[in-house]
Amino acid sequence: MSHIPYGSAAAPPWSVAIDPESAKWTFCGLRVLDVQGEPIEFETGGDEQLVVPLSGSCLVECDGMRMSLGGRESVFDGPTDFAYLPIGTQARIVGYGRFALPAARATRRLPARYGPAQDVPIEVRGGGAATRTLRNFCAPDAFECDRLMAVEVITPGGNWSSYPPHKHDTPDGQEAVLEEIYYFEGGPGVQQVYGTHEVLAQVEAGDVVLVPHGYHGPSMAMPGYDLYYLNVLAGPGEERSMAFSDDPRHAWIRGTW
């Protein structure tokens, strides 16, 4: 199922729990955690992960580091600081709020790190009814990972984003082959996927859309309701560097979110 309504992929303590096995693909994953002060401990295993506050703040402990994430009141209040968790480690989160943990099956073990909110690149794309704001906090040119990429997109009510529709599933040296997850807050809105499989779904806070292949977009925010989505992407080989390349052959992805 490509459209996963909120609650359909829960596995306590995670309100959303998607890994490559459950998604029936190879690299990309996402978990979402709602906590009210209770400590949550887990192992990263073969996945590099981020801890991204959607609302609230927390303390992240990993590899002997203590990273205090100031977070934000909501995803509509600007970028947030975040933490990077390497493969093969034990982590602990204590806090209040909702936190996203984008993940990618990785091979390199990079150090645990803190990502400051003030270092997050912000970009306005499109124009008119296709205007949207991107926070490229885990783009290849903003933050080093092995395979993981993640960006946040804010689409004002009545606007379109993820436009023009695009895909990344052809291993021809010109497309970065990537699996992609859309996680939504705000809304309601509408998400479309087409070509190799069809999705036309109304999406709301906590919903997920999986994109293993095919064209995806536009994402449409209903008038009067701003829409947020977190894009999580991962793929094999050198797809991470290709995805945001300035090479015109690869520019298909840089201009679409």
Instruction: Tell me the mean pLDDT in the region 176-202.
Output: 94
The full set of domains in the chain, from first to last, is 3-254 (2.60.120.10)
What is the C-alpha to C-alpha distance for residues 80 and 227, in angstroms, rounded to an integer?
A: 17
Question: Given a cut of 70, is residue 252 above it in pLDDT?
Answer: no
Question: Given a cut of 70, is residue 246 above it in pLDDT?
Answer: no
Question: Given a cut of 60, is residue 19 above it in pLDDT?
Answer: yes
What is the C-alpha to C-alpha distance for residues 82 and 99, in angstroms, rounded to an integer?
A: 10
What is the C-alpha to C-alpha distance for residues 105 and 138, in angstroms, rounded to an integer?
A: 16
Torsion region of 165: left, alpha or beta (phi above 0 gives left; psi -120 to 50 gives alpha): beta
Note the pLDDT of residue 242.
61
Cis omega (within 30 of 0) for bond into 218:
yes
DSSP annotation of 92 reads E
Q: Which residues lie across from 221 on neighbouring strands?
A: 189
Question: Given a cut of 70, is residue 98 above it in pLDDT?
Answer: yes
Q: Identify the H or E element spanning 103.
A: strand 90-105
Pick the range with the lowest mean pLDDT from 12-26, 70-84, 224-238: 224-238
Sign of the CA dihedral with 17 first, then 23, 26, and 29 last: negative
The CA distances from residue 7 to 17, 64, 204, in Å, are 10, 33, 12
What is the C-alpha to C-alpha distance for residues 106 and 93, in angstroms, rounded to an integer?
A: 22
Note the pLDDT of residue 243.
63
User: Are 45 and 21 a contacting pair, CB within 8 Å?
Assistant: no
Q: Which residues lie across from 203 on neighbouring strands?
A: 189
Instruction: Tell me the mean pLDDT in the region 184-210.
Output: 95
Is residue 234 classed as helix, strand or coil in its secondary structure? strand
Instruction: Tell me the mean pLDDT in the region 14-19.
Output: 98
Q: For the purposes of burial, counting CB atoms within 10 Å of the CB of 12, is it exposed (0-12), middle (13-18) or buried (19 or more)?
A: exposed
Q: Which stretches does DSSP call E strand in 3-64?
A: 3-4, 14-18, 28-36, 40-43, 47-62
pLDDT tens digits, residue range 37-68?
Answer: 999 999 999 999 999 999 999 999 999 999 99
